Amino acid sequence: MNRNSEIAESFAAVVRDRGDAPLLLAPSEHRICSARHLDASARALAEAFTSLGLGDGHLVIASTGNVAALPALFLAALRRGLPVMPVDRSTPVAELRTLAARWDAAAIVVAASTPAANLGDPTLMRVPLGEDLIAYARQPLPAPGRHGTAVLLKLTSGSTGAPRATHTEERHLVADVRHIIDGMGIGRDDRQLGLVPLSHSYGFSNLLLPLLWQGTPLLLRPHFVPTQVGPDVAAAGLTTFAGVPFMFEHLAAHQALPRLGTLRLVLSAGARLAFETVTAFHAVTGLKVRSFYGSSETGGICFDDGAALDPRVPVGRPLGATQVTLVDDDDAPAGSGRVEVRGPNVVDRYASPVQVDDDTETTRDPRDGATLDRGTFLTGDYARRDDDDCYVLTGRVASFVNVAGRKVHPGEVEAALRTLPGVRDAVALGIDDPVRGQALGAVLATEAPWDARRVREALAPSLAPYKLPRALEVLPALPLTGRGKVDRAALLRLLQRRH
């Protein structure tokens, strides 16, 4: 069954207006796709979904990575009324199965080139879809409609291995893409560089949605390779580059990106941007990296549209109709409050998993007490608003580790570490890393002969690669403070010296 879709209708206008113009460049796949080609691919995928028996409201998990087929897959799902949960291409098979069970997914779609290309599950029917995609459909299919009017379930970082997912409706995506293209001035004639994962809220909002909404061309790469950035910008005449801090730190440090006349907008999200990174990148390229602040629950919130290099590194002003309020909090830094967001881009609630333990399951996030209530999101961030109405982030209620722009909650990793044989207790911490910005370190309380390599091998089936500890210390017991709590500061110093 076809569902009326504003995004699909906007893309149909792109096909009519510029059907044969190059729209999606995927040099790693040796592919150049026009709007007409993407439309044909989406129609073929929609027919394939129908042949599998997928109906209105069946959830599809997409673990494809940045491949040319992903925009067509989402467009096909919109037309068939299938909500999509995008996940990282490196997600282990065991985690994919857990997600499918928790959210009652009808099918898992993977790219043939990903580690999950062979799920090896006899309860799933394996069907090649074309476009280098493979579907694994449940037999029998679950009842449709669990996720109601949602078109997208965005995963958020979980604290104990049970992540949340947003109940994102199409109206939220439409508001978000309008805010972004208007606030950042991204037009149809811009050409975007796609290095951040489209499976993340940032890449989905800034790269995939402008492509479908107004036909903004996109050059898509599956990975960040520093030496490819300059040649890609020059060869394709790219004008915008959405990245994460560690990319700009690396490019500036190695002077891998020369001055290029076509690139006009460089923005960073996913982790706090250091002023040293801004100045170093500007010195090499003449371009300012602008901060962009958002979340899975809200899409874009604020954007720094100022031209000057600002030592505060503000996240800027609210985008479009987004409203930001600073709520009083006793634990907030001086002059700061907790960020609360309202607007047409803010989702109403978290999606309902198969088993709901209590009434707060779809409204409250136990990581940091963040709450989501009918279009109002109380974040876990602290900020202040300065005299020029710019917002500056000043801290977080809970400390995530940002590994190359991917958020990892240490509690999830600690829970996995405690399952290892002989491990009595474990602590996971973020440590400075010259390549990733931050890396994950761990300390085990055990007499067993664990080392970093063996730990990574043991946890690889259940944790994504970026969640695996890169540094490890083994102690007979964890040190305690005078108040009897684990001395995390001492452990951090120990890990930092060793890394």
CATH number at residue 107: 3.40.50.980
Confidence of residue 91 (pLDDT cuts 50, 70, 90): confident
Confidence check: pLDDT of 364 > 50: yes
Pairwise CA distance, residues 52 & 125, whole Å? 9
Report whether 383 contacts 377 (CB < 8 A): no
Same-domain status, 420 and 359? no
On whether residue 155 sits in a domain, the answer given is no
On whether residue 203 sits in a domain, the answer given is yes
pLDDT score recorded for residue 363: 61
- Of the candidates 167, 103, 159, the residue with the CA atom closest to the CA atom of residue 366: 159
174: containing domain? 170-396
Return the H-helix or E-strand segment holding 324: strand 323-327
On whether residue 152 sits in a domain, the answer given is no
pLDDT score recorded for residue 437: 74
Confidence check: pLDDT of 161 > 70: no
407-440: pLDDT as tens digits: 887 878 988 999 999 998 999 999 888 777 788 9
End-to-end CA distance of the chain: 55
CATH number at residue 425: 3.30.300.30
Angle, CA of 482, 485 and 490, to the nearest 5°: 80
Average pLDDT over residues 107-123: 83
End position of a domain, from candidates 374, 396, 418? 396
- CA distances (Å), 137 to each of 58, 376, 397, in order? 11, 36, 40
Average pLDDT over residues 255-281: 86
Same-domain status, 81 and 179? no
Confidence of residue 406 (pLDDT cuts 50, 70, 90): confident
Same-domain status, 390 and 247? yes
- CA distances (Å), 234 to each of 100, 197, 213, 248, 264, in order? 41, 22, 25, 17, 13
Confidence check: pLDDT of 335 > 80: yes
Same-domain status, 210 and 353? yes
Same-domain status, 345 and 485? no
Same-domain status, 383 and 478? no
pLDDT score recorded for residue 359: 44
On whether residue 153 sits in a domain, the answer given is no
Same-domain status, 389 and 348? yes
Average pLDDT over residues 51-70: 95
456-484: pLDDT as tens digits: 999 999 999 999 999 999 999 899 875 56
Pairwise CA distance, residues 314 & 305, whole Å? 10
pTM: 0.84
pLDDT score recorded for residue 438: 84
Same-domain status, 344 and 376? yes
Average pLDDT over residues 174-181: 98
- Of the candidates 312, 355, 28, the residue with the CA atom closest to the CA atom of residue 162: 355
On whether residue 468 sits in a domain, the answer given is yes
Supply the mean pLDDT for the chain: 90
Share of the chain above pLDDT 90, in %: 71
Average the pLDDT over each of 351-365, 369-383, 430-444 and give the range with the smallest value. 351-365
On whether residue 144 sits in a domain, the answer given is no
pLDDT score recorded for residue 401: 85
Same-domain status, 349 and 451? no
On whether residue 160 sits in a domain, the answer given is no
Same-domain status, 341 and 483? no
Average the pLDDT over each of 7-11, 46-50, 153-157, 224-228 and give the range with the smallest value. 153-157
Pairwise CA distance, residues 346 & 297, whole Å? 6
CATH number at residue 353: 3.40.50.12780
Burial of 398 (0-12, 13-18, 19+ CB in 10 A): middle
pLDDT score recorded for residue 358: 46
Q: How many domains does the chain have?
A: 3
Same-domain status, 67 and 185? no
Average the pLDDT over each of 115-119, 274-278, 283-287, 379-383 and give the range with the smallest value. 115-119
Same-domain status, 268 and 360? yes
Report whether 3 contacts 56 (CB < 8 A): yes
On whether residue 34 sits in a domain, the answer given is no
The one-letter amino acid at 94: A
Record the tokens describing residue 347, joined without a space: 């989702």
pLDDT score recorded for residue 246: 87
- Of the candidates 405, 347, 281, 13, the residue with the CA atom closest to the CA atom of residue 148: 347
